[in-house]
Amino acid sequence: MVRDLKTGWKETVREMREGGGTLKRICDVLLSLFLLCILSIPMILIALFVKLTSKGPALYWSDRMGINNTIFRMPKFRTMRLDAPEMATHLMDDPSLYLTSVGSFLRKFSLDELPQLWSIMKGDMSFVGPRPALYNQDDLVELRTQKGIQKLIPGVTGWAQVNGRDELPIPVKVEFDEYYLKNRSFILDLKILWMTFIKVLKAEGIQH
C-alpha cells in the first residue's frame, strides 16, 4: 500500500511538472463548472445585448485547429457583423468597420471568450495552451507543426497571450508557444492564468 501511495504521488508530481494529463483535465472540468455556475446570468445578459444590438445569432462558431491539427467548432459571443470576412482580425484592413456596437467592449475585456467554457467541458480546449488557430491560418499552423506544438490541447489563454497577444507577429507567437511546450508545468499554468487575469483587467495587448 505504501508503495502504491508513493507511486501515485510520483505520478501526480510528474503531471504537475508537465502541466498535462489527468490532473490538468480534472482541474479544467472543475474550474469550468464553477465558472459556468457563477457566470451563467452575466453570459445570458451578454447574449441578450448581442442579439438586441445587431442582426444575427448571439454566438459565433468558428472552425479552429485543435490537438493534432483536427478541426473543432469554437464558440464566441459574436462581436462582428454578419458580413465580416472569415479571417484573423490582424489580416483585415480595418477590423473596426465590422465590429458591432458592443463588439469592441466585449473584445476589450475578453468577454466574448466566455462561451469557450463549453469547449473546455467537452475537452476540445484547456484553460491554458496555445491559442487555437483559424482553420485557414496556414502560416501559423505550419510553423506550429514544425515545432510539434500541434500535439498540445489549445487553450483559452497561453504564454503568447500574456506576452503580447494581438501585438505579436506570428513567428514570435510560435516562439512563445514552443517555450510553453518545452517548459509546461502546473505552476506555469497558474502563472499564466494570473497574468491573464491582470491583463484582462487592464485590457492590455488588444488591438481591435
Cβ atoms 95, 135 nearer than 8 A: no
Query: What percent of the chain shows pLDDT beyond 70?
Result: 82
Least confident of 13-17, 117-121, 128-132: 13-17
In a domain, 208, yes or no: no
For the chain, what is the domain count? 1
In a domain, 100, yes or no: yes
83 vs 32: which has the higher pLDDT: 32
Span 90-102, average pLDDT: 74
**191 Cβ contact partners less than 8 Å away, ≥ 6 residues apart:** none
In a domain, 35, yes or no: yes
Span 196-204, average pLDDT: 82
Considering the entire predicted model, what is its pTM?
A: 0.82
| Residue 136 reports pLDDT greater than 80 | yes
pLDDT value, residue 207:
52
pLDDT band at 195 (very low <50, low <70, confident <90, very high): very high
Q: Rounded CA gap, 176 and 169, in Å?
A: 11
Nearest to 53 by CA among 34, 69, 77: 77
Pairing of strands 155-157, 126-128: parallel
In a domain, 207, yes or no: no
| Residue 180 reports pLDDT greater than 70 | yes
Span 49-54, average pLDDT: 93
Nearest to 177 by CA among 188, 187, 186: 188
Range of the domain at 182: 2-202
pLDDT band at 199 (very low <50, low <70, confident <90, very high): confident
